[in-house]
Amino acid sequence: MYSYVINISMACGVIVILFALKKKLKDQLGFIFLGASMLKFVLFFILFYPVYKADGFISRLEFLTFFVPYMVCLVTESIILSKFLNSLDNYN
């Protein structure tokens, strides 16, 4: 559950940041998205990996506990960013 909350919170934060920077950094939004995705992955290694690896083994359930919400949020962010960038191109 903790993994879902963290991933959804970070995904919402990334989307808010992208919308906030849409005018100033329109051409760099894709790079900002990639950087934010990398930051999310780094946070996994800081927050979740030590707990999962504490017993010396990462079980399939532990892996899926992180990976499923991460992928769902990543796909959702990608779709939103894609539609958002397409709408910016059509606007100008």
- CA dist 9 and 2 (Å) reads 11
pLDDT above 70 covers a percentage of the chain that reads 95
- Bigger pLDDT: 1 or 13? 13
Please report which confidence band the pLDDT of residue 92 belongs to, taking 50, 70 and 90 as the band edges.
low
- Local confidence band at 30 (pLDDT 50, 70, 90 cut-offs): confident
The structure's pTM equals 0.74
Residue 89 pLDDT > 70: no
Stretch 41-68: mean pLDDT: 82
- Tell me, what DSSP letter sits at residue 25? T
- Helices 60-91 & 29-47, crossing angle to 10 degrees? 160
User: How far is C-alpha 81 from the geometric centre of its chain's CA atoms?
Assistant: 11
**How remote is the C-alpha of 8 from its chain's centroid?**
8
